[in-house]
Amino acid sequence: MITKPGRIRPRRLRRTAALRNLVAETRISPDMLVMPHFVLPQADGREAIDSMPGIERQGRTELLRQLETDLKLGIRSVLLFGLAEQGSKSPDGSSAASDDGAIPLAAAEIKAAFGDDLLVISDVCVCPYTDHGHCGVLNDNGRVDNDPSLAPLVEMALAHARAGVDVVAPSDMMDGRIATLRDALDESGCEETALLSYAVKYSSAYYGPFRDAADSAPGTGNRKGYQMDIRNVREATREAALDEEEGADMLMVKPALAYLDVIRAVAETSSLPLAAYNVSGEYASVKAAAERGWLNEREVAMENLLAMRRAGADILITYHAREALAGGWL
């Protein structure tokens, strides 16, 4: 005997696209997207990044053209990563603080061209500028020395803020850097410059393509001594709470897809806006599979972005931002 189905049929609301869209619980708007860019230290030039198809290192001229096109698509927020001038890398990464560096020069031109129509976020970390590739100053034992590493970060953040960057985003994972940066910014008259903390940044294998793009791979050793242990989640909520107490305006979890549980945990314990960084390895994996016909790039990329949003992220930093808007994926 076949039992007659009951009155309650959840499938009724899945029957058509219009119904599904009407009752969708999770939505993404263009304003949530942040597009990362790799900025060359010179005015002109573009360089392909083999491990990140569709992404380039760009000089300021090419960058401004790209930003104008992206702005018309609806991308109103960018995250800038600077590359060092050839021969300028040093043990303390001092060239990161130069007013003539890639980010300060690019930021000044971006703000002159677009004003407040475009939000400029800058990554603050000395790893692309140190000759050893680590995110701070090394001690005699070859390990990153936390407190001496704060001063170069301060100088770098101040250079960015003076150039007009709206949000500085320290990604170094040094203890105490948020309070130190907040005090320095305020004392220098940059109290309106916001702080987006890479509060929860794991020592992840997903960063490989990024290190190609930014020329920032450590020469020896790894970053497990200062970036977070991939096995921990309670530590993530502690890191987030500390940065909130120290004056962060926004928080970030990085990477995103392998850490959706962490995004949820931080979202539930902090009232600050939360960003998820859909990192280079996550992007490259989708690209590689799509190129081989193994995955539908549009559908998988959107599934990934919706997963981050569903987990609790308010801000989505993704290399797929341009394709998502140009292709009408949202």
Q: Is 254 annotated as catalytic?
A: yes
What is the secondary structure of 118-166 as a DSSP string?
SEEEEEE-STTTBSS--SS-B-TTSSB-TGGGHHHHHHHHHHHHHHT-S
Which residues are paired to 35 by β-bridges?
A: 78
Q: Which residues contact 242 (CB under 8 A, 6 or more apart)?
A: 178, 199
- d(C-alpha 201, C-alpha 59), whole Å: 28
- d(C-alpha 280, C-alpha 52), whole Å: 7
Parallel/antiparallel/unpaired status of strands 56-58 and 119-124: unpaired
Q: Which amino acid is at 164?
A: G
Work out the number of other CB atoms within 10 angstroms of the CB of residue 68: 12
Is-contact 267 201, C-beta < 8 A?
A: no
Q: Is 245 exposed, middle or buried (0-12, 13-18, 19+ CB in 10 A)?
A: exposed
Q: Is 111 annotated as catalytic?
A: no
Is the omega angle on the peptide bond into residue 5 within 30 degrees of 0, that is, cis? no
Q: Which residues contact 6 (CB under 8 A, 6 or more apart)?
A: none
Which residue out of 4, 201, 224, 287 is catalytically annotated? Answer: 201
Catalytically annotated residues? 201, 254
